Amino acid sequence: MSDGLYVVVMLSVVLIVGITCVPSMFRQDCPECGARNPLDAKRCVACGKPLPRPDAR
């Protein structure tokens, strides 16, 4: 494999991992309905139930 193709393949892998894994690190799931919410949300964006406080997780 040429060096240029190797770099393109590795960058593609890093991009795919970043797109699929990193957003979940900045989200929290609602314990009631399972919807994904921003970490700073106080209530679920889908069902409106209160979310656990960050220090309670």
Residue ranges covered by each domain of the chain? 22-50
Mean pLDDT, residues 6-14 taken together: 87
How far apart CA 2 and CA 43 sit, in angstroms, is: 51
Beta carbons of 51 and 28 less than 8 angstroms apart: yes
Q: Over the Cα atoms of the chain, what is R_g?
A: 18
pLDDT value at position 20? 63
d(CA 57, CA 50): 14
pTM over 0.85: no
Express each pLDDT in 17-43 by its tens digit.
766 665 556 788 999 999 999 888 999
Tell me how crowded residue 30 is: count the other CB atoms within 10 A of its CB. Answer: 20
Tokens of 18: 């970043």
Mean pLDDT of all residues belonging to the chain: 82
